[in-house]
Structure 1
């Protein structure tokens, strides 16, 4: 990697891009034509640029997650103020359950992303830990939360939310980019899944070699079979959760166990071909993200109870954990089950047909 002086000979800036959102950000192409870079402007050793780039992306993803959480709070604060003062049928619209559900869901998810980025930040501060998957999980969840809640806030505002006079439409436009930069959420899901497959893949690769020479590898095979039998019935223990959250901790442990078995089955069935199976990668990543966020929530709520000294004093944190974790674990279960039971072939058939014909779906009878 290296530093380039913006005023160096051969550096040229393209025209200012006209963007959908984040218009305060100056976005333009940069052209380099025979630019000479002094050796003292090199960053790190030769060949080390990729690592530097990854470290920058990791930092950016974590900051983006924290910023998304703050953006979620701000746009929902404005929407809640509207819901408190706007009346329909003789009462504030905030008293209606459909509006309350939007607020509660945003609150629970915001609590979760705050827990996750704080937990991941502590990993960064400790040092010596590869936190790339955790920052990716935070970025995916946080960016999708910010965009989703911007749309929900606009919906709470109703017609005025569509007007540029109010901040809702700008929030929708500005938050949309978060799903794209610092690595698109699709790329990050593939990163999470394929990185998570690496260790079990190497393990199964060694087992495959052992099966080719079983008499010389009885120890390896015996260890694998015994371990697999144990994994079939044993969930990983979560020992640090507060007893008040024992049920939620058990839900997480069950999904960790089931995901591990599901990943193993996927590898045994598809082998290296799993690199091309993005339906499966997306499901594994979604399950992993929900599990990580749930662990972060469990940790945050447990710490809140210990600080408060008793459960009633931490009622708000308990409510958050008891809502988020079951919802997230239900989502994870669906994704894990779909690793084996799915309609992937039909999905591919529908997409291929649409791409080949240019028609998204069969034309309605009225248009024929």
Structure 2
């Protein structure tokens, strides 16, 4: 039930289309306001761990201690929901049937509506359950354990479909629409992606023009790959609208978000798409022909559609990590049940080192994913506004980890895992889309790297400005100069994290600290070398993103394991082992990635790879001849 995966098949193109504008626009949480920019105002502190990582600094306020945001009351509420939801998925919903019929069974849908599963975070006075992000994550996790197809139906509805109304709706819009999508059994959808809009948000062609009487917008266009597109009654639709700049008097098209009802007329849809996985979810093309939209249905202000779309997507990414955490738990359980009973060569296969390594890595990946989900949801519940890079990392990590865990579960079970009745082949098909929608993992890696680099670059710009008036900025100049001198002679030490973690995890914390220090130096080096052209160096950006992911996930798991050790939780020693193992291997990957981007040999190899790819494309596919020559 759940924004679970927040699924939007269309999101791949959606986020691709927004990447350039997102990074260039630099959202508020990414903005560094210096005294040089705003005289008389204090600099804005960004509390994002990942953002500060790009400056080689430890910002631990939103990682340590691991969040514990549930009160006794809110914890009790979540616990009360777990049993009925679990029972529903075990006794009512049939994931295999939904997949085979390519639709969620009517009985399941009725049950979900009756449980208010379509309005988990809608305020109670508007018909919903009013769950916090952390409570929501727990519900999402259960859904992910049983049926990702259902999760996508729920997520497309509330995580993105009407999420814009929750985030940006005025009181009248909330009062009018939220009860309808919560208890009125009206489905919602998020409609942004179009057949022609790929990497450029400006290529959206759907247009909405103000009527002569000024009371309506007239919308024409189409959207593609819309989850719930064939069943949605209420849609958040993005269209180009003419906007006049009051300063210049010039008019240009800007994206605006609208609340569109199918009942307005002129809204139709195509047949459900045939998909590789998540077959139970409805995905369809939607068409708009002379749709009259009242001006009061503008969402978030005329021309602000880009901001609305980005924040809808950013706001719920943690839900994907929560849902996939549930999926990974279920896959691992099946693999363990098989491994502990299957006998080969006279021994149960769980006694063999190869199987043990698989199960250990599966467990570690699940631990990291689960830790990310509740770290981010907990911070959001505490009021954090600095989670966007972390949420993107959680999506990338969770989607790749879940694929690995499911694939290894099948491998452990061998031929049995490949059989349809085991259920893992359906899960594997469902999981494939998660690395594509919500922004492809490729795009999100670039988003993480470029946004972080932009933040680091602002600091270098501040230093450059300081040299223009050295007398007034001696403190900053000497501070930076001393750092570089100490670093050059090898006397510098990484920023310490020892005081933030349990004493048993200080060696792991030291590995993370060293990685942060080296990472900051690497970012500074590539900025100096490439300047603004770094945006075109995707080989380097991808490796910086991978290093950032490894460092952030390491910090998260030692935070969670420290909490368990401090509170003497029964699983604390097991968590400690996983945290230690993860941090060691992650630190080795960080070292390798950072060496790669500074090595002339590796950079030359990037050039070779680029040439190979260009040649393949020029030839329309594989270039070399078959060895037999025919």
**In which range does the TM-score fall when normalised by the shorter chain?**
over 0.9
Among residues 429, 432, 435, which one is paired with 1:173 in the alignment? 429
Match of 1:314 in 2: 572
Q: Distance in 2 between matches of 1:192 and 1:231?
A: 26
How many matched pairs?
A: 365
Query: Which structure's residues are more often helix, by fraction?
Result: 1
Within a 5 Å distance, the mapping from 1:291-310 to structure 2 comes to: 291-308=551-568
Gaps in structure 1 of 5+ consecutive residues: none
Q: How do residues 152-163 of structure 1 correspond to structure 2 at under 5 angstroms?
A: 152-163=408-419
Asked if the contact 1:231/1:257 (under 8 Å) is kept, the reply is no
Cα offset, 1:55, TM superposition? 2.1
* Counterpart for residue 117 of structure 2: none
Using the size of structure 1 for normalisation, the TM-score is 0.93
Shift of 1:165: 2.3
Deviation at 1:28, TM superposition (A): 0.5
Residue 80 of structure 1 corresponds to 336
Which one of the candidate residues 601, 609, 621 is aligned to 1:347?
609
Contact 2:470/2:477 (8 A) holds in 1? no
SS at match of 1:308: coil
Higher relative contact order (CA 8 A, sep 6+): 2
C-alpha distance in 2, partners of 1:100/1:248? 23
- Cα deviation, 1:250-298, whole Å, max 9, x if unaligned, reads 0000000000000000000000000111111101111111111100001
| CA deviation after TM superposition for structure 1 residue 210, in Å | 5.9
Q: Report matched runs for 1:7-156 at 5 Å.
A: 7-156=263-412
| CA deviation vs aligned residue, 1:22-73 (integer Å, no higher than 9, x gap) | 0111000111111111123222222333222222212332101111111011
- Partner residue of 1:197? 453
What secondary structure does 1:29 align onto?
strand
- Superposition TM-score, scaled by structure 2 size: 0.55
2:543 is equivalent to residue 283 of structure 1:
yes
Query: Among residues 481, 506, 509, which one is paired with 1:249 in the alignment?
Result: 509
Contact 1:9 1:35 in 2 (8 A): yes
1:16 match: secondary structure: coil
Higher strand fraction: Structure 1 or Structure 2?
A: 2
The 1:313–1:78 alpha-carbon spacing in structure 2 relative to 1, beyond 3 Å, is closer
1:329 matched to 2:587: yes
Matches of 2:617 and 2:419 in 1, distance apart?
36
Q: CA offset at residue 230 of structure 1?
A: 4.8
Kindly state the Cα deviation for residue 171 of structure 1 after the two structures are TM-superposed.
1.2
Q: Contact conserved, 1:116 with 1:292, CA < 8 A, in 2?
A: no
Measured on the aligned residues, the alpha-carbon RMSD in Å equals 2.1
> Counterparts in 2 of 1:251-270, with a 5 A limit?
251-270=511-530
Question: CA, structure 1 residues 353+36, in 2 after alignment: closer, same or farther (shift >3 Å)?
Answer: same
**Cα distance, 1:296–1:77 mapped onto 2, change above 3 Å:** same
Matched, 1:236 2:495: yes
Question: Which range is displaced more, 83-92 or 300-309?
Answer: 83-92
Q: What's 1:366 paired with? A: 628
Q: Distance in 1 between matches of 2:590 and 2:313?
A: 27
Residues 34/286 of structure 1: CA separation in 2 closer, same or farther (3 Å cut): same
